[in-house]
Amino acid sequence: MISYDLFWHFAPLTYPESLVQEYDRSLLDWLEQADVVFSISESNRQDILSLFPDFAAKIESVPLSGFLGRQHLLVAADPSDVPFFYFPSAYSLYKDHLTLIQASVQLWQAGFNFKVVLTGRNTDQLSRGEFDLPEQSKLPEHQDYVERLEALYQAHPDFFAEHFEGLGYCDGEVVEKLYATCAGVVFPSRFEGFGFALSEAIVRGQPVIASDLPVLREQVELYRCGDRVQLFAPGDVGALAACMKRVLLEPPGKLSPEQIQERFGHWRWEDVAAQYVRILAQFPA
């Protein structure tokens, strides 16, 4: 079994009790049947054990990796372009696009010229001012979240028209170019089982601004990249705006392929696979 997250318990949203019970029963069934359970982060492992502590001996924490190839290293940014922050994640309440937009508007009102670019499911609808999330519409938090986004859209149409872009799903080539040419990757999520955006940005040599979640601190420790990551308290608009301002005023710069390999080559997808094989080899064929 591989566990990615237990969102129904630990995402900062109020899920119906019937759904919580249904998912808990399914999780327990898998825990009982599996010979070994791989969790994609130590935070995810601790989440499982907080619910079902009797399965500690079965659960192995093997973090994922951000290495997806080297072709992205060949893309260079045009220095004449307006700097932009990139957030690669589906539009969802706990991903907290609201805090990112609020911080961006605050920075834009202070006179900074930049853009925010989003990719992932439903991010294109944000550019059009469509904020409803049908799959989360029954959650108590949904209506307030949508109303706050609508108020921002109505109050600052110029920002959304000129400095904000949601692209929806994109192919790999577009994603790689955005990673390679952005001023920095922003990751304001309030909950993650792992959080690929941080590790993917780090192994592409880009600076990161991320919410201060235990699972994201794990990745900072894994890649020893504290000098490349600014952490801010989840939901803190002012703190996020300050981090973004710092990147615009003092760009950290992108690391070279040689620097990336030297600093972050110690944990690759090959290492993830080797760890799985090592653990699975303990079981009879």
Mark whether 138 and 172 lie in a shared domain: yes
Mark whether 128 and 17 lie in a shared domain: no
Residue 119 lies in a domain: yes
Residue 40 lies in a domain: yes
What's the CA gap between 217 and 236, in Å, rounded? 17
Mark whether 57 and 197 lie in a shared domain: no
227 class by beta-carbon count within 10 Å (0-12 exposed, 13-18 middle, 19+ buried) = exposed
Mark whether 135 and 187 lie in a shared domain: yes
Number of domains in the chain: 2
Residue 285 lies in a domain: no
3 state DSSP class of 224: coil
3 state DSSP class of 38: strand
What's the CA gap between 182 and 117, in Å, rounded? 9
Mark whether 162 and 26 lie in a shared domain: no
Residue 84 lies in a domain: yes
Mark whether 114 and 168 lie in a shared domain: yes
What's the CA gap between 277 and 197, in Å, rounded? 26
Mark whether 6 and 28 lie in a shared domain: yes
Residue 28 lies in a domain: yes
Q: Residue 239's domain is classified under what CATH number?
A: 3.40.50.2000
Residue 236 lies in a domain: yes
Question: Which residues span the domain enclosing 12?
Answer: 2-65+268-280
Mark whether 89 and 201 lie in a shared domain: yes
Mark whether 191 and 225 lie in a shared domain: yes
Per-position pLDDT tens, the chain of length 285: 999 999 999 999 999 999 999 999 999 999 999 999 999 999 999 999 999 999 999 999 999 998 655 555 556 666 668 999 999 999 999 999 999 999 999 999 999 999 999 999 999 999 999 999 988 998 999 999 999 999 999 999 999 999 999 999 999 889 999 999 999 999 999 999 999 999 999 999 999 999 999 999 999 999 999 999 999 999 999 999 999 999 999 999 899 989 999 999 999 999 999 999 999 999 887
What's the CA gap between 220 and 156, in Å, rounded? 35
Mark whether 60 and 82 lie in a shared domain: no
Query: Residue 104 CA to chain centroid, in angstroms?
Result: 18
Mark whether 257 and 120 lie in a shared domain: yes
Which of 213, 175, 182 lies closest to 66, judged by CA? 175
Neighbouring C-beta atoms of residue 265, cutoff 10 Å: 11
